[in-house]
A and B are shown apart, each in its own frame.
Chain A
Amino acid sequence: MDDMRIVERTVNTKASKISAKGVQVHYGATHALKDVDVEILENTVTAFIGPSGCGKSTFLRCLNRMNDTIPSCRVDGSITLDGENIYDPRVDPVRLRARVGMVFQKPNPFPKSIYDNVAYGPKIHGLARTKAELDEIVETSLRKAALWNEAKDRLASPGTGLSGGQQQRLCIARAIATSPEVLLMDEPCSALDPIATAQVEELIDELRASFSVVIVTHSMQQAARVSQKTAFFHLGNLVEYGETGQVFTTPQDPRTEAYITGRIG
């Protein structure tokens, strides 16, 4: 408990990693996200909560420009990563996504072996010069994702043959193998059973030591368990953003309180 409080306090002193100012997103004629300002800190887990369709996943996908793959989507405002605007025409979205990794709602391992799944990112970005270096990256990533002990004897078997929770941890290992600076997670536990969820949550807390983690979740308990900062979205607006403990115990906005106590959603 004591330890937790120390962690909570050190958050305030951390530097900003991603800074979003006045972000607007339109899907065709739909105004999906209205004027969102968020600072995402280094080595911190930030949770985005809110009812379905509130724009939290949309905002998450803005942070690594995954929305670029949707033709009707338009993003305005500024999002900076280490002070550099990621929507600047000189920024290559492909390079950006190597720095800002992503884990999806449904585990989506490639139909390849476990080894090749993890080695995919390092290979396309040329992170390993030799087979030994690649082996090293795969092992470290699988260890960080708490999958090494289960997978080390079956690295050559297909990743699709793992259980749901193992698949999701494989996807996390795959994302951290490219050594990103930020890890985005879009409801990473919604397709998992409670035991697998607990494992992934534990993992998220450990990952905080090396990355900034941003997690979208429908479960408020999960947000309270894993995050230090929480942002509450409602109908495309960022309603409240602050320390997780403060948001859940003394929310400033009546809408946040209504959502947390289960009156809207």
Chain B
Amino acid sequence: MTVFLLLCLMLVLAVAAFVVCRARALALSGGKIGVLHSLPGYYGWHGAIMVLLPGLAVLLVWLVVQPMVIESRISATLPAELTADDSARALAMADVRRLAAGLDVAIAAGSVTVDASGTPQIAGSGTMREALAEAGVALAEDVSPQILTAAQAYRGLSATGAAWRALAVLAAALAGFALAVRMTEPELRARNRVEGVVEGLLMAASTIAILTTVGIVWSMLSETFNFFSMYPAADFFFGLTWSPNFRGDSELGFIPLLWGTLYISLISMLVAVPIGLFAAIYLAEYASPAVRGWVKPLIEVIAGIPTVVFGLFALVTVGPLLRDYFAEPLGLGNSGSSVMTAGIVIGILNIPFISSLADDIINAVPQALRDGSYGLGATKSETVRQVIIPAALPGIVGAVLLAASRAIGETMIVSMGAGAAAKLDLNPFEAMTTMTVKIVGQLTGDTDFASPETLVAFALGMTLFVITLGLNILALYVVRKYREQYE
């Protein structure tokens, strides 16, 4: 029985449990619902949960444990020369799995038949490989008899496992069903028990998000350690030259990349924060509802444009414009791609981000504070400056920080607008590049996961993670210190 079929069956059982438990609760109440601890619907839900929860738990455990058991049994039967070391064993097991899956397909297609003893027979003439190819399963080399035997055993064990799995899951579900029906008494606190399950479900959702983050950090951490075992950490953190090559004498100093990242982010924030904040103040405090209704969605349209389109804008419009009208007349170089280009375009990208978030935050400041200020004879801008912005500060800092993280993490606009040359320079009209662009650069194309030139991407990623984390902590501190809390 397939997992899908099993799930469907459990769903049917759950619906049945819902109906039965609800009906039983109603019958026990004798027409007076007040006798029951909870509403009849809760008894129904309690029944459905009692079916689904044990069934799903057994299924989950089985799905995790069964492959492990089968693998260890099969690999024990494989000849010793195929399981000499861990990587050979993994390779052989991969072959077995692929062949087993291929056989399933081929038997379904009819190009392989199964005789009474369960041994696969080739329906036509030719080798097993040709028979499988006929069914659309491509194998790299012909099938060795040991692998074929192992694959056959694998299929057999899997089929037995699936049958037992179905039995165990259904047994658990039915046991839950029976228990739920027996438990359905007027005194059963069905509502509280259902509430508990809901709480658990919500908690699981938040846990998954946290565990994923931990997983990402963990996976980067191990590769970062690999990198630092091959390349000295001091050279990475304090090296002023970035010139990777695959001859083995790369210089992987990350200072030029850090400088490029910070320089571009700084320019983008200089563009985005004032414009975004002023736009938000205009929308929240000055604009009439009609104007607001038009302008706010229009600004937010910018947020929907893919960054690669912004990259094009940087490449064909902003870059040449800055070069022809600023860089060349001022004698600051003749590069079309520059820190300035990328910074300005990322800034534009972040304007709606800041304005939209800040607008919501400013609107959340109580009207009573505005009235208090106006009532003392303050003008609008005095009120905004001295009362509303201080009250909204924590939220505004949060919005700015979110925009800063986006600017630091932006890749596409940088690679199209600022180029890919890692340089340490003060001139904003020079081409420079960022850590994210180099992460992409080092991981695309032919990569060798044993060379520091590739693994440096993980070290860069980890450093980026630490920088943004530090930024977050700093912002939290600033907000705690300077916030003016209303209410």
**Residues on A close to B: CB < 8 A?**
64, 66, 69, 71, 94-99, 101-104, 106, 108-112, 120-121, 124-125, 158, 160, 171, 174-175, 178
Instruction: Using CB atoms, name the residue of chain A closest to B366.
Output: A108
Q: B484 touching A125 by the CB < 8 A rule?
A: no
Instruction: Using CB atoms, name the residue of chain A closest to B391.
Output: A111
- Would you mind naming 18 contact pairs between A and B with Cβ atoms under 8 Å apart? A66-B371, A66-B375, A69-B374, A99-B377, A101-B375, A104-B371, A104-B372, A104-B375, A110-B372, A110-B387, A112-B390, A120-B378, A121-B378, A124-B379, A124-B382, A160-B486, A171-B372, A178-B376
Residues of B within 8 A of A124 (CB): 376-379, 382, 386
Most chain B CB atoms below 10 A, which of A94, A110, A121: A110
Given contacts A104-B372, A121-B378, A175-B376, 12 further A-B contacts (CB under 8 A): A71-B288, A101-B376, A102-B371, A104-B371, A108-B369, A110-B387, A110-B391, A111-B484, A111-B486, A120-B373, A121-B377, A160-B487
Q: A94 touching B377 by the CB < 8 A rule?
A: yes
Over the window 280-314 of chain B, the binary record of Cβ atoms lying under 8 Å from chain A Cβ atoms (1 yes, 0 no) is 00000000110000000000000000000000000
Q: A98 touching B376 by the CB < 8 A rule?
A: yes
A94 to B381, CA, bound (A): 12
Q: B64 on the interface (CB 8 Å rule)? A: no
A103 to B288, CA, bound (A): 27
Interface residues of B in 162-192 (CB under 8 A from A): none
CB distance from B366 to the nearest CB of A (A): 7
Q: A178 touching B377 by the CB < 8 A rule?
A: yes
Q: B219 on the interface (CB 8 Å rule)? A: no
Q: A71-B288, A160-B486, A160-B487 are in contact. Are A108 and B371 (CB under 8 A)?
A: yes
Q: A120 touching B386 by the CB < 8 A rule?
A: yes
Count of interface residues, chain B, beta-carbon cutoff 8 Å: 24
A41 to B484, CA, bound (A): 39
Residues of A within 8 A of B206 (CB): none
A99 to B376, CA, bound (A): 9
Residues of B within 8 A of A99 (CB): 377
Q: B444 on the interface (CB 8 Å rule)? A: no
A69 to B378, CA, bound (A): 13
**How many contacting A-B pairs (Cβ < 8 A)?**
79
Q: B368 on the interface (CB 8 Å rule)? A: yes
Residues of A within 8 A of B484 (CB): 110-112, 158
Residues of B within 8 A of A98 (CB): 376-377
Residues of B within 8 A of A102 (CB): 371, 375-376
CB distance from B382 to the nearest CB of A (A): 5
A124 to B381, CA, bound (A): 11
Q: B376 touching A174 by the CB < 8 A rule?
A: yes
Residues of B within 8 A of A66 (CB): 371, 374-375
Q: B376 touching A104 by the CB < 8 A rule?
A: no
Closest 6 CB pairs of A and B: A98-B377, A111-B484, A102-B375, A108-B368, A97-B377, A121-B376
A96 to B375, CA, bound (A): 10
A69 to B370, CA, bound (A): 10
Q: B485 on the interface (CB 8 Å rule)? A: yes
Report which of A94, A106, A109, A175 forms a contact with B378, defined as CB distance below 8 A: A94
A94 to B375, CA, bound (A): 8
A9 to B61, CA, bound (A): 92
Instruction: Using CB atoms, name the residue of chain B closest to A120.
Output: B376
A125 to B387, CA, bound (A): 15
Q: B377 touching A125 by the CB < 8 A rule?
A: yes
Q: A66-B371, A104-B368, A111-B485 are in contact. Are A97 and B376 (CB under 8 A)?
A: yes
Instruction: Using CB atoms, name the residue of chain B closest to A99.
Output: B377
A238 to B486, CA, bound (A): 37
Residues of A within 8 A of B486 (CB): 111, 160
Over the window 64-86 of chain B, the binary record of Cβ atoms lying under 8 Å from chain A Cβ atoms (1 yes, 0 no) is 00000000000000000000000
Residues of B within 8 A of A110 (CB): 369, 372-373, 386-387, 391, 484
Residues of B within 8 A of A94 (CB): 377-379
Residues of B within 8 A of A178 (CB): 376-377
Instruction: Using CB atoms, name the residue of chain B closest to A117.
Output: B372
A106 to B390, CA, bound (A): 21
Residues of B within 8 A of A160 (CB): 485-487
A74 to B487, CA, bound (A): 32
Residues of A within 8 A of B391 (CB): 110-111
Residues of A within 8 A of B485 (CB): 111, 158, 160
CB distance from B291 to the nearest CB of A (A): 12
Instruction: Using CB atoms, name the residue of chain B closest to A171.
Output: B372
A160 to B392, CA, bound (A): 15
Q: A104-B368, A111-B390, A111-B486 are in contact. Are A97 and B375 (CB under 8 A)?
A: yes
Instruction: Using CB atoms, name the residue of chain A closest to B288.
Output: A71
Residues of B within 8 A of A112 (CB): 390, 484
A175 to B371, CA, bound (A): 12
Instruction: Using CB atoms, name the residue of chain A closest to B289.
Output: A71
A96 to B379, CA, bound (A): 11
CB distance from A138 to the nearest CB of B (A): 14
Residues of B within 8 A of A109 (CB): 372
Interface residues of B in 358-407 (CB under 8 A from A): 366, 368-379, 382, 386-387, 390-391
A66 to B375, CA, bound (A): 7
Residues of B within 8 A of A69 (CB): 370-371, 374
Instruction: Using CB atoms, name the residue of chain A closest to B485.
Output: A111
A121 to B374, CA, bound (A): 10
Instruction: Using CB atoms, name the residue of chain A closest to B365.
Output: A111
